[in-house]
Chains A and B, each alone.
Chain A
Amino acid sequence: MAFYRSHVLVCVDPECLAKGAHEVLDALQDEFVAQGLLDEIQVLETSRIGGCSDGPEMMVYPEGVHYHGMTADDIPFLVEEHFLKGRIVERFREVVKPVVDEELGPLRPKEVRVVLRNCGEIDPNNIEDYLATDGYQALGKALFEMTPEKVIEEVTNSGLRGRGGAGFPAGRKWGLTRQVNDSPKYMVCNADEGDPGAFMNRRVLEGDPHSVIEGMIIGAYAIGASYGYIYCRAEYPVAVETLNIAIKQAHEFGFLGNNILGTDFNFDLEVRVGAGAFVCGEETALMASIMGKRGEPSPRPPFPSVKGVWGKPTNNNNVETYSNIPQIISNGAAWYSSMGTERSKGTKTFAVGGNVVKPGLIEVPMGITLREIIFEVAGGIKDGKKYKAVQTGGPMGGCLTEQHLDLPLDYEALTQAGSMMGSGGLVVMDETSCMVDIARFFMDFTQAESCGKCTPCRVGTRRILELLQKICDGKGVDGDIERLENLCYEVARNSLCGLGQGAPNPVLSTLKHFRHEYEAHIYEKRCPAKVCRPLIRFEIQAPTCTGCTVCARNCPVEAISGERRQAHHIDADTCIRCGICMQVCNFNAIAVES
Chain B
Amino acid sequence: MAVPTIEHDVVSVVHAAIEKHGRNRDAMIPVLSEINRVFGYVPGEAIREVRKQLHDPARQVHIAESQLYALTSFYDMLSTKPRGRHVIKFCENAPCHVVGGKAVWDGLREMLSLNNGETTPDNKWTLVTTSCLGLCSVGPVLLIDDDMYGNVTPEQVSEILKRYE
Contact = CB atoms under 8 A, between A and B. Distances in A.
On whether the two chains bind one another, the answer is yes
Interface of A: 193-199, 202, 233-237, 272-278, 289-295, 351, 353-355, 359-361, 391, 395, 425, 427, 429, 433, 438, 441-442, 445, 449, 451, 578-579
Contacts of B132: 194-198, 235
B77 interface: yes
Given A196-B132, A438-B94, 19 more contacts: A194-B131, A196-B131, A196-B136, A273-B29, A275-B32, A275-B78, A276-B76, A291-B26, A292-B29, A295-B74, A295-B75, A351-B137, A359-B136, A427-B98, A429-B98, A445-B93, A445-B94, A449-B131, A578-B106
B163 to A, nearest CB: 20
Contacts of B87: none
Most buried by B among A441, A442, A579: A441
A362 to B, nearest CB: 11
B160 interface: no
Interface string B31-50: 01100000000000000000
B133 interface: yes
A359 B137 contact: yes
17 contacts: A196-B136, A197-B132, A198-B134, A199-B137, A234-B77, A235-B133, A276-B130, A277-B75, A292-B24, A292-B71, A351-B137, A353-B95, A354-B98, A354-B99, A425-B95, A441-B94, A449-B131
Contacts of B32: 275
Most buried by A among B70, B78, B130, B136: B136
Interface residues of B, number: 36
A277 B95 contact: no
A233 to B, nearest CB: 8
B134 A235 contact: yes
A329 to B, nearest CB: 28
A275 B94 contact: no
Interface in B10-66: 24-30, 32-33
B contacts with A: majority SS:
helix
Nearest to A193: B134
Contacts of A233: 131
Interface in B125-144: 130-137, 139
B159 interface: no
A199 B24 contact: no
B54 to A, nearest CB: 11
Contact of A277 (B76, B91, B93, B99): B76
Nearest to A295: B74
A236 to B, nearest CB: 6
Nearest to A444: B92
Given A196-B95, A275-B75, A292 B134 contact: no
Task: Across the A-B interface, give the 3 residue pairs with the lowest CB-CB distance, nearest first.
Answer: A276-B76, A196-B93, A199-B134
Contact of A276 (B96, B97, B131, B146): B131
Contacts of B30: 272-273
Most buried by B among A235, A237, A294, A433: A235
A194 B137 CA distance: 16
A471 to B, nearest CB: 18
B24 A294 contact: no
A98 to B, nearest CB: 25
Given A276-B131, A354-B99, A427-B98, A292 B77 contact: no
Nearest to A355: B98
A233 B75 CA distance: 11
Contact of B98 (A234, A237, A360, A433): A433
A197 B95 contact: yes
A391 B97 CA distance: 14
